[in-house]
Chains A and B, each alone.
Chain A
Amino acid sequence: MVTGTAAPMLEMRGITKYFGGLCAVSAVDLDLMPGEALAIVGDNGAGKSTLIKVLTGVFEPDEGEIRLDGKPVSIASRRDARALGIEAVYQNLGLVDTLDAPGNVFLGHELKRPVLGIPFLDNRRMAREAARVLQENVGIELPNLREPALHLSGGQRQAVAIARAIYSTDLRVLVMDEPTAALGPEETRNTLALMQRLKAQGIALIVISHNLEHVFAVADRVMVMRGGRRVGLRTTANSTKQEVLGLIVAALDEPVAA
């Protein structure tokens, strides 16, 4: 089994998911190396989101197996996924608009400090820690940390969501769904740089994107999906946007056993 190259951190084998009679994902394999960025591309309805939701515990697969560090794991809920260090960041989901950045970063696992034996929220330490994680791991400094998330820009919101993912678990796999879809050019540049920083920290990324420009800028490999199947897997260094685009729209094709 073990090949000459490094062993994958995450393996998904033969993942199949039906919704009623509709097969959304059919026998899909996925490997992920530590510190690697894998892009998943494909048209709407290709099964990208379903596959990702299987990984993050939103859906349970009808068939297939997920292995982490070679050991089979069962991911029945988001909590399970989180416990294994698998987190997802969505463009707008997951932040409470009326809470500030530290409140969002620590939501659900607040830092506490006992006063007279009562565990009160330690807002000061949470603000400090959030600022530190945002600066050191995410590489962004918020001008006003106590501002409600409502008033943050798209890129800042994403940074807060990622800081939360980093803090809430021993983060190993970060799934990013359309990370650049709602961002301006400046923020897109920041987000791409942020992805490189996360990779450098050994965190593996799975990026769903429609933007091949960004995919080729940040991803090491591209997986193409169509009709619930994996129809191609390319190393970005040895491929071109034209080739990947061809796979997406079915101009080119290759056997499933890539």
Chain B
Amino acid sequence: MSVAAPTVDGARPRQRGLPWPQRYVNVLGPLVMIVGLSLFMAVVHPPYFRISNLMIILQDASLYMVLAMGMTLVITGRGIDLSVGAIAALSAVVMAMLIKDLGVSVGIGMAAAVLVGLACGTANGLVITRLHVPDLIATLSMDLVFRGIALVLAAGVVLSQFPEPIPFLGRGRVLDIVPMPALIGLVVLAIGWILYHYTPLGRYAIAIGGDPEAAMLAGIDVRRHKIYQYMLMGGLAGLTGILLTGRLNAIQATSGMGLTLHTIAAVVVGGTSLFGGRGSMVGSLVGVLLLSMVVNALVNLRLDFFWQQVAAGVIIIASVGFYSSLQAGPGTLGRRLAGLAGRVQARA
């Protein structure tokens, strides 16, 4: 009935700019889910909001924050990296063996973890740009390669008891309250935000993801920038390996199995488009927090552990379906919801 009202002046009401609910839908969407979840938990299980539990949520979210920074950039560039969990494990195993078996100092061991990550990321980038293997297939295969090397190196052994600062980085509490890895994750995401908006790294990721041909015609070295994106992702996965080791003060070659898909889920929930060209570091932060809150809520409600996976899957489908319907045109559910929000805003 009143649907036609906003478009009386022709086919392009968008020219004046989107109303803010649509502009920030990537952050608002998961935020609404966070609020909904919070209300539900407040009624059903108030201890959910104890400081100690909130800090557990942050602790859990920290690894995904670090990975989400790189993944936001990679996915914005119309890529995807399915090997980050394996890179984290391989980096951690190399670091662990250097420290425990070869007696290398902690600092050098940690540097080695990041370097291994960078090397793995570079390998990904080269396979994709030089061998012209699609990102998905390339990183899926490299996941096997990296995981395989980690298994060969560690041969099923659990390496544990690392010197400081590894345990502090992985599970330490600043002022006895705030998890150290969460601070690291937030700093990494803040750096990511700056990279995304204020450096060619982010700008060209948007350009390459939005229109690779246009990016090339503008003189951007598309191959080189894709390699940069995967290198950064790899380096961050190496850092994640350190945090992963510190969390339990132990590491094995099979660690970090679920990291990759969980990270991609969080980034996509945060509004970064799997079709490339569009992304948000803030959205990724909110996506990471939402997923960790859901997982923690399920634990608090004493639901079986495996329900976590079901919940994660449902959230991803709900989010991607919502964003897709926003793109698809009028009449779809997401459009209608966003339009409704816009009209509410316009009236206010």
Contact = CB atoms under 8 A, between A and B. Distances in A.
A176 to B, nearest CB: 16
Given A98-B277, A143-B17, A110 B218 contact: no
A98 B203 contact: no
Q: How many interface residues does chain B have, given as a range?
A: 20 to 34
A69 to B, nearest CB: 24
Contacts of B200: 110, 121
Contacts of B14: 147, 151
B170 to A, nearest CB: 30
Interface residues of A, number: 26
Contacts of B194: 120
B277 A108 contact: no
B17 A95 contact: no
Interface string B89-128: 0000000000000000000000000000000000000000
B198 A108 contact: no
A143 B16 contact: yes
A95 B14 CA distance: 18
B218 A108 contact: yes
Given A96-B206, A97-B277, A110-B200, A78 B217 contact: yes
B18 to A, nearest CB: 8
A97 B210 contact: yes
A130 to B, nearest CB: 14
Interface in A25-56: none
Given A93-B213, A153-B12, A121 B219 contact: no
Given A96-B207, A103-B206, A121-B199, A79 B219 contact: yes
Contacts of B278: 98
- Most chain A CB within a 10 A radius of its CB, from B197, B206, B218, B219: B218
Contacts of B320: none
A99 interface: yes
A161 B194 CA distance: 27
B206 A121 contact: no
A98 B213 contact: no
B215 interface: yes
Interface string A88-106: 0000011111110001000
Nearest to B275: A98
B214 interface: yes
A153 B15 contact: yes
A97 B217 contact: no
Given A108-B219, A153-B12, A96 B214 contact: yes
Which of A78, A96, A144, A147 is the most central at the interface, judged by chain B CB atoms within 10 Å of its CB? A96
Contacts of A103: 203, 206-207
B214 A94 contact: yes
B198 A94 contact: no
B73 to A, nearest CB: 14
A71 interface: no
A95 B16 contact: no
A9 interface: no
Given A94-B218, A144-B16, A153-B15, A99 B210 contact: yes
Contact of A93 (B15, B197, B217, B277): B217
Interface string B174-203: 000000000000000000001001111001
Interface in A94-145: 94-99, 103, 107-110, 120-121, 123, 143-144
B218 A121 contact: no
B211 interface: yes
B219 to A, nearest CB: 4
Contacts of B277: 96-98
A108 B194 CA distance: 19
B34 interface: no
Which residue, of B200, B203, B213, B277, has the highest number of chain A Cβ atoms within 10 A? B203
Given A144-B15, A151-B14, 16 more contacts: A78-B217, A82-B219, A96-B206, A96-B211, A96-B277, A98-B211, A109-B219, A110-B203, A120-B194, A121-B198, A121-B203, A143-B15, A143-B16, A146-B17, A147-B14, A152-B15
Interface of B: 12, 14-18, 194, 197-200, 203, 206-207, 209-211, 213-215, 217-220, 277-278
8 contacts: A95-B211, A96-B214, A99-B207, A103-B203, A110-B203, A120-B194, A120-B198, A151-B15
